[in-house]
Structure formats: C-alpha cells, structure tokens
A and B are shown apart, each in its own frame.
Chain A
C-alpha cells in the first residue's frame, strides 16, 4: 500500500496523543495547574494534529464533517466519533485539573477508556480489510494499542509502566511481523483465484490493460520500500523500543526524557512506514505483482 505521509503522521501522532490522554485520564501524573496545562497541550497537539493531518489526504476535506454519519457500519466513521467524544470528555476533565485544582476522576477514567477505544477504532480501519491480508489479523489492534499505551506512558513520565509496556509493544511488533510475513499466502488469493482460471492450469500475466500508471498501481501496488525492510525493521525496534528503555534506566533528566520520546517517535514512524509499504493488496495479483 502507498505509504502516504499524512496517514503515517496521523496514525503515529494521534496514537501517541490518545496514549498520553489515557494516562492523564487515570491521573498519572497527578498534575494540576501549569504542569497539567503542559501535558494537556502536548496530548491535544498530537491527537488533534494527527487528526488534521489525516484530512490532508482527502480528495474533499471540506466535506470531512460528513464522515461522522455512518458509525453504524464504518470503522472510519466510528473513529471520528470516538476521537471527538474522547477529546470533549478529556477536555472537560482537563479544565478541572488545570483551572480548579480538581480531579473529576470518574470523568477521567471514562476519558481513558474512550482514548483506548479511539485507538482501537483506528486500528480496525486497517484490520477490517480482507483485501490486505497482512493487516487482516487481530494482532493489528493489539499492535496499535500496545504502541499507544507504551508511548503514552513514556510521554506521561510513567517510567516503570513505560519499560513494561514498551517491552510488550516491541514483542507485539515482532509477532506482528512474523505473522504478517506469511499472511498473504495463507489468505489463499492467487492469480488463479483472482481470474478463476487457476483450475485450467498455471496463469501468468501476458499483457497489462494499460501501459502507463494508474490509481490502483500507485495506491495499492507500492513496491519501492520493501527492498530495505529488514534494515528498517531493525531501526524501528531499536529507536522505538530499545533505545528509549535504555534512556529510562539513566538517572532522570528532562533531556534524556525528551531524547527518549523523540527516539520513540522516530521508531514508530519507521514501523508505520513499513506497516503501509510492506502491506500487499490482493489487487496486485491482477498485475502480476506477486507470483
């Protein structure tokens, strides 16, 4: 799949933003006033920034409001609704923390649960697609949620939780890759099933329908990045999980903490880039993009 920068930024940033909101909703850290304001500002910058970034890839962003309508059937719509509700609930809870030195905890816990639901709905946008076998496994929501919780803990300064959850997220990442690498062939779609001609013999593409490029090839048969996938996987795991954890074991300083967060973000960006670039759509079969 085409790794659109706006979508990579969206899933990475809003995932971290909602992850941070999860911890803030639980009262971790137990901050009020200006400190709370700083935490909320960072969380909203990530969450809202990600959401705005996601509208950049729309053909008609001016109609984006219509996307809230079909929550009964569409995970994308549900994601929009969940994100807005979470931001409203956490906003009210944040007002208490910042201005009234108050912790309206039932509201906060509700916000935390909603933040997790939002990340889950984001993941389901991809998980639901049978046409992209690599994504179509239940490890995908686990991947998004574990990233979100681990990264959120890191940003919320919850060192112990960050170490535990980043380790978990790293393991989920490795499991997701290992499972994902065989998913396409397991899903069973071949050029033979795609054309129905497989029962007659071996099928191979003879002549494509067009000599130039088209939307399908640009969007769904992206092959450029797969060449470096092993190197990028090592970079993603090192920067995303290993290096931040090493920094967490050093004596606390804001510099190390910032470096840990930046390293984590860079790692997750690499992972998310691979998430799209390595994902193969079954339509590629018609073009002989997979034997």
Chain B
C-alpha cells in the first residue's frame, strides 16, 4: 500500500550537525560500500574509469558558502540523504506499492522486486534523495541501514547506519524522534534542529543543526601589528642563530 501510515510507533532518523561536518565524504563512501555489498541491488557505477563516469549514491555531500550581513563568509558542508519524511510524497505517487513507509519505525523503503522503474517517486522528492540505479533500473534510496540497525549478527556498537558509524567528526546521530528523551530529540531541541524546505510540506524526520556562530576575526588580529614591520624593517637584528641565518640568507 502506498498510502502513508497515520502515525508510526517510532520515528527513526538522523540528526546532521552542520557545525561539525568537515566535508570529508567518509559517510558517502561507507554508505556506498554497505549498500553495494549488502541488501538489494548494488549501487552501480557506469563508465567508472571512462570520460563520463556516473554512479548511484544514496548520500551526497554538498558544500555551500554562507555570507552573513556582517562578518566573514562561512563554508558549510552539507550531507544530504533521504529525510524519511512523515508526509513522504515519494510514497503516495508510487503506482505499484513498491515504495512504502513502515508503520513500526517510519523508515521509507523500496521493494525492489515490485519497482517498475518509472522514476515518478524521484520526481516527487524535493530533496533528490532517490536515484534510479544505472544498471539494475530500480529506484535506490537510503534505507537508514535497516539491515544494520536490527542486525543481531553485528556487535551492538555497529547497529546504527553506516554513515553514522563511520563519521570521524561525530556530525551524524541516529535515534528515535518519537521519544522526546532520545539523543536525537534532545540534540535537535537544544540546537534548534531545522527542516529542509518546510514549504514543501513533507515534514522531514531528519533534522539539521545550524552552524554555531564563529569566533570574531578581529580577535585573531592581535599579532599583526608586530609581524608586519619585522619583515621590511631596515637593519633588523633578530640576534642568535635566527639572526645569523637571516643575515646569511640576505647575503646570498
């Protein structure tokens, strides 16, 4: 059934901290790895070593420059994957029922044996979270690593999405947003977790934490007045070894 559940018992999702993300793309690689080696159709690369390589990814990291009215510009790394929306438009458009949102935990999944590859769900998603696999011709999307998080064959610390497990900066957090006491609910509440494109009315489960204000530039400037004249002061004498080196280099 591609009608959405009225409500879900759990709301599993991610908190992505835009303040902490360093843009290393480790989450992209671990996601691609796990989802190629495990559940479902592998994420294909076509023409991988040719002139026009194209690949299927469930998670991608953009980088944006934000220029505030005052102060310096900031560089923000921005990982983007499925937000497991409560009002997921990708689910209701599916003609076959291949796309569905689970009533138990809210994860949005694709049953690949029912997918006819029409691509309408990818059109319906405002976030670009779904990509048609270039080889298998079925729709691929983030599963929130459904084959890890409940997998009792894995050590307990590995039972979280591959992107969260691998993030070296601790910028990704996994948990249940239906529980107000969960790590993700608290983080989101403390740091003002944001919805992406709220005007689209999709009610995303995943939240993004805005970057915190940075230090002021003028505090860094303390040494500048002392450094500037040193370089071109006539007859400068640094003394000691550095002085000798300075004079010797000058003579050469």
**Given known contacts A57-B118, A209-B61, A69 and B95 CB-to-CB distance under 8 angstroms:** yes
Number of A-B contacts (CB under 8 A): 203
Q: Who on chain A is nearest to B56 by CB? A: A215
B117 an interface residue at 8 Å Cβ cutoff?
A: yes
> Which one, A80, A125, A206, contacts B63 given CB within 8 A?
A206
Does A182 have its Cβ within 8 Å of any Cβ on chain B? Answer: no
A: interface residue count bin:
35 or more
A220→B128 contact, CB < 8 A: yes
**A189 at the B interface (CB under 8 A):** yes
Q: B223 at interface (Cβ–Cβ under 8 A)?
A: no
**Max chain B CB contacts within 10 Å: which of A68, A72, A206?**
A206
Contacts of A76 in B (CB 8 A): 93-95, 118, 120
Q: Given that A69-B95, A132-B123 are known contacts, is A188 also in contact with B69, CB under 8 Å in the complex? A: no
Q: Please name all residues of chain A whose beta carbon is closer than 8 Å to the beta carbon of B60 when the two chains form the complex.
A: 209-210
Residues on A with C-beta less than 8 A from B211 are 197, 200
Tell me whether A203 is interfacial, beta carbon within 8 Å.
Answer: yes
Whether the Cβ atoms of A201 and B67 lie closer than 8 Å is: yes
Query: Of A17-25, A82-90, A265-273, A278-286, which stretch is located at the interface?
Result: A278-286
Do residues A282 and B126 form an inter-chain contact, with CB atoms below 8 A?
Answer: yes
Contact A58 B118, CB 8 Å, known A195-B196, A197-B76: yes
- Of chain A, the residue at the smallest CB distance from B128 is A283
Cβ of A197: which chain B residues have Cβ within 8 Å of it? 18, 64, 66, 76, 78, 210-211
| Contact status A131-B114, CB under 8 Å | no
Contact A205 B96, CB 8 Å, known A130-B89, A213-B52: no
Q: In whole angstroms, how far apart are the Cα atoms of A220 and B121 in the complex?
A: 12
Pick the contact of A206: B64, B131, B199 (CB < 8 A): B64
- Taking CB atoms and an 8 Å cut-off, the chain B residues in 47-104 that contact chain A are 52-57, 60-69, 73-76, 78, 80, 89, 91-98
Complex interface: chain A residues within 8 A of B199 (CB): 187-189, 193
Chain B interfacial residues counted at CB < 8 A: 68
Main secondary structure of the interface of B (DSSP, over half): loop
Could you say which residues of chain B place their CB within 8 Å of the CB of A58?
A: 116-118
Q: Pick from B96, B195, B196 the residue with the most CB of A within 10 Å.
A: B96
Complex CA distance for A66 and B95, rounded to whole angstroms: 8
A285 CB to nearest B CB, Å = 8
Taking a contact as CB atoms under 8 Å apart, the answer to whether A131 and B125 are in contact is yes
* B95 and A189 within 8 A (CB): no
Task: Kindly list chain A residues whose C-beta atoms are within 8 Å of the C-beta of B7.
Answer: none
Q: Which residues of B contact A60 (CB under 8 A)?
A: 115-117, 137-138
Establish whether residues B63 and A215, one from each chain, have CB atoms under 8 Å apart when the complex forms.
no
Q: CB < 8 Å: which of A72, A189, A208, A287 contacts B1?
A: A72
Q: Is the CB of B96 within 8 A of A189?
A: no
**Would B93 and A283 count as touching, CB distance under 8 A?**
no
Q: Does B243 sit at the interface, judged by CB under 8 A?
A: no
Task: Please state if A74 and B94 are interface contacts (CB–CB under 8 Å).
Answer: yes
Task: Assess A67 versus B118: contact at CB under 8 Å? Given A193-B199, A197-B66, A282-B200.
Answer: yes
A57 CB → nearest B CB, Å: 7
Q: Any chain B CB within 8 A of the CB of A251?
A: no
Q: Give which listed residue, A73, A128, A193, A286, contacts B80 with CB less than 8 A.
A: A286
Question: A208 contacts which chain B residues (CB < 8 A)?
Answer: 62
Known contacts A196-B195, A215-B54: A189-B116 contact under CB 8 Å: no
The answer, yes or no, to whether B208 is at the interface (CB within 8 Å) is yes
| A197 to B201 CA separation, bound complex (whole angstroms) | 18
Say yes or no: A214 contacts B57, CB within 8 Å.
yes
The reply to whether B93 and A74 contact each other, CB–CB distance below 8 Å, is yes
Q: List 13 contacting pairs A-B, 8 Å CB cutoff, sorted by A.
A: A63-B115, A66-B96, A68-B95, A76-B94, A128-B124, A131-B89, A194-B127, A194-B196, A195-B78, A203-B66, A204-B64, A214-B57, A216-B122
Give me 6 other A-B pairs in contact (C-beta within 8 A), A68-B95, A70-B2, A76-B93 excluded. Answer: A60-B138, A194-B196, A201-B69, A201-B73, A205-B63, A206-B63
